Amino acid sequence: MESLDQQNKKKLIRLAVIYAVVVLAILLIANRAPIHGWLARIYKVIRPVFIGLVLAYFCNPILRFLEQKLLRRLRPYGLRRVLSLVLTYVFLFALLAALIALLVPQLMKNLANLVFNYDIYIAATVVEINSLFEKINTIVEKLTGIPSLIEEWDYVLIKEKVLNLIGPDSSLMEYIRTIDTNSILGFLSSLFGTFKDYLFGLIVSIYFLASKELRYAQVTKLRTALFKNRTNEQISNFIHTANRSFGRFLTGRLLDSFLIFLVLYIVFSILKFPYAVLLALIIGLFNIIPIIGPYLGAIPVFFWLLVISPSKLLPFLIVLIIVQQIDANIISPNIVGSNTGVSAFCVVIAISTMGALWGIPGMILGIPLFATILEITKMVEVDRLQKKGLPSSIRNYYPADSLLDPERDSLLPAEYRRMKFEERILKIKLKAEEGLPLNIFEKARLGFYRFGCKIRLFGTISDNSLVHVSAENTAREIRREFRSRQSDGIPPFDPEQKGS
């Protein structure tokens, strides 16, 4: 009876917790606006500290590389820490200065040329677009016999529309004239406040990195005092999972964006695009945002080329589509997708929900946040199933009449590609260990894998890949023995030989 009462109490507590969570979620959704305003006020207060912690998190890998690799022989330790901090922030400011020096002067120069010579640009654009329309009409007329499918643009009409938009009597200029002094002062005050928060955030990040071991010890001491050992272990697992998901995702996105920038810059330079560095850099920076980032970056580039060089629009679209297909199917899955373990369905949900809440930062951080939640859920799920004595693999829960292959369908596309890549690497390693010669593609693939392991893009080879390759090798040995026995006239499975 007592055990039944205990079970009933546990069920009641569980139901109460579920109902409380549901009611709390409904209240949060119903009062989203005031709660969002309250959180915004809190964030405004703690924003310098938050900025400092985020900046310290991004700078910590650079600091660790300098301390543990580049300056590891420098003594004493205090001098090594100070010099590593200085070099870390020098690198950070140099990178920021390089981006500003690359972007701002060209943008200001091009905008000035556009404002003062807009009529020349309009005339050149209309001529090139009309020439393109004429070619399209000629092709269509030859194929279908329909003349003038697309009407040519009228230069005078387009010039009047541009003047109505940016001219001295336009609505834009009228709005600029109505801006009062208070609005300008408010904007400058807000700008100064943002600058002040980032300056204090920079100071916080320096102090945090300089004494990060002490801060870690303080937090560990507080956790040990407040929580039980099991709770502390769960908190540590959560922090480790979150750090791994965020770190791998951000590292992968940055490397992927850099590769896209490099490829587009080379292609744009070969095709003689105007301002090839600037155009490739814009798309590369937007590429940090998953899925929709490249298209967001392509929008300003498209309109920029429409004004500067309309004849480059079609080559630009073709190049962008080809590069994005290569990135989406080859580069990004191997660099980013295998590191996060998030399916395309969850990626869309993460971007849409987190983007609606936090804008572009939410789009960037949504995927690693979802990856963290999914990995923790998976850990809890596996633990509960093992306690019940049930299998933890999802392949065991497919319906019996499933038309899909559970082994392949249960894996994410990125995981499946990673498994196949690891199997190829294992086969190449086995071939090299047997002393067999490797061709140029196998050497390149093996070199790429070793480089990826050095920069921690690739981890240890998974157990699934090891099992698959071992099974293939075992099957190959069995087939070889079977054929050799057949050629020698010996039965494949001779009972007398087995008994002897």
List pLDDT tens digits, range 295-318.
888 888 887 787 777 777 778 888
Give pLDDT, residue 493.
Answer: 52
Report how far Cα 31 is from the mean position of its chain's Cα atoms.
Answer: 32
Domain limits of the chain? 46-116+187-225, 119-178, 227-393, 410-493
The three state secondary structure string of 52-94 is: HHHHHHHHHHHHHHHHHHHCCCCCCHHHHHHHHHHHHHHHHHH
Residue ranges in the chain modelled with pLDDT below 50: 495-500
pLDDT at 498: 44
**Burial 438-474, CB ≥16 within 10 A → b, else e:** eeeebeebbeebeebeeeebbeebeebbeebbeeeee
pLDDT of residue 497: 47
Q: How do residues 80-117 score in pLDDT, each as one tens digit?
A: 889 999 999 999 899 888 878 777 777 777 667 666 66
With tokens 């921690």, the residue in question is: 456
pLDDT at 496: 46
